[in-house]
């Protein structure tokens, strides 16, 4: 965890400061913030939020399976010209490959 400045390919430092930390799930996050003072303040808020268990950047995992999205798509395009082609070629392949996987994956 920390704040730092990045250099471009020519070795020139950017004006922005970056915050580097790991969320509660262990995922590394690097975020451009602005001036050093703001970056340090942001990092302090993130650390406090993680410590208190109220981290605000954690996204809830989507529990919807791909097949539900595919079924909604089929309903939406049923009246369109390419529907028969989709049903015979694309839909079975997508259903077989991704059917039970969650959208979050």
Residue with the larger pLDDT of the pair 76 and 60: 76
> Among candidates 75, 72, 50, 63, which has minimal Cα distance to 101?
63
d(CA 88, CA 77): 14
pLDDT at 85 over 90: no
Give me the pLDDT at residue 83, please: 76
pLDDT at 75 over 80: yes
> Among candidates 22, 4, 27, which has minimal Cα distance to 14?
4
pLDDT tens-digit map of 39-64 = 999 999 888 888 887 776 545 566 78
Give me the pLDDT at residue 101, please: 87
């Amino acid at each position: 965890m920390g704040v730092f400045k990045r250099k471009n390919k020519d070795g020139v430092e950017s004006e922005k400061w970056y915050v580097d930390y790991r969320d509660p799930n262990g995922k590394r996050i690097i975020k451009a913030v602005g001036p050093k003072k703001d970056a340090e303040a942001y990092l302090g808020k993130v650390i406090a939020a993680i410590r208190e268990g109220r981290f605000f950047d954690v996204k809830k995992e989507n529990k919807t399976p791909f097949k539900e999205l595919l079924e909604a798509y089929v309903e939406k395009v049923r009246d369109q010209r390419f529907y028969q082609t989709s049903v015979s070629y694309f839909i079975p392949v997508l259903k077989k490959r991704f059917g039970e996987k969650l959208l979050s994956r």
